[in-house]
Amino acid sequence: MVTTDFLTPEAIDSFIVSALKEDIGSGDVSTLGSIPETLLAKAVLKIKANGLMAGMQLAQAIFRKVDPELVFSPTINDGDSFVYGDIGFEVSGKGRSILTAERLVLNCMQRMSGIATKTSNLSTLIKGQKAKLLDTRKTTPNFRMLEKWAVQIGGGVNHRFGLFDMVMLKDNHIDFAGGISNAVTKTKSYLKNERLDLKIEVETRNISEVKEALDAGVDAIMLDNMMPSDMKEAVRLVNSSCLLEASGGITENTIQEIAECGVDYISVGALTHSFKSLDMSLKAVKI
């Protein structure tokens, strides 16, 4: 829905540096104490689940940041399906470097693959419909970039990245501002004064609020926790004059019916807050 270019090499590198600093601290004492500096080793990623791969490109970047001399050979790429027993990659080089990078690589890949798999499964359920699957800001602090990246890999669409790249007037904004009309009018004035070219979306809870948002002139209207019958009425009223997003408690059991209402987007917070991390492990192999 938005085009924020958050997946820059600089942003990815910044995440890796911060995450490694958190994990390594003053030194990987277990590895430094038990593994000779010159020991060469090899390890493979063993996959213990079925799903969709996400995080392989990131894993390579993590290993490279820890030790540019490590040799990383993926056998599965981001966006590829895998099954229990598959080998995801092989990495070889200094044993110390492999061990130091291990947990960060696994933490990222397990979570990202879980999100990509959930996203892919839900996207498949609405294949052929107009509606596209959206993520939300219901993400893990400091991990949002990777979670939204995983949604992309799984076939979903990213909503706004943060509070800065799109206006989203939620129920509390509307209540504090004294209604939809007041909230939108004040926001448009603010954007004009600040010379900001941003889309405005308004959350609505009933058809009356949909009409008010439509009259206020916004770019998108969110239909929050509405019944399918009300969503169909909203689609009729809006008549393609702005985008419509269905949201609120959407599951694999309800997403098809909602897509059939004719909305443009369906946002699912569970993509990034209720996914299941997939089981993977890094295992040493003999050279």
Which tokens sit at 190?
């603010």
**Residue among 66, 65, 53, 73 nearest 119 (CA):** 53
Q: Which of the residues are catalytic?
A: 103, 138, 170, 203, 224
* Phi and psi, residue 140, nearest 5°: -80, 125
Q: Do the beta carbons of residue 108 and residue 22 sit within 8 Å?
A: no
Distance (Å, whole) CA 114 – CA 153: 11
- Output the CA torsion sign for 30, 34, 39, 42: negative
Which tokens sit at 98?
């492999």
Q: How far is CA 172 from CA 152, 177, 183, 205, 269, in A?
A: 29, 8, 10, 12, 18
Distance (Å, whole) CA 42 – CA 286: 7
Distance (Å, whole) CA 88 – CA 69: 20
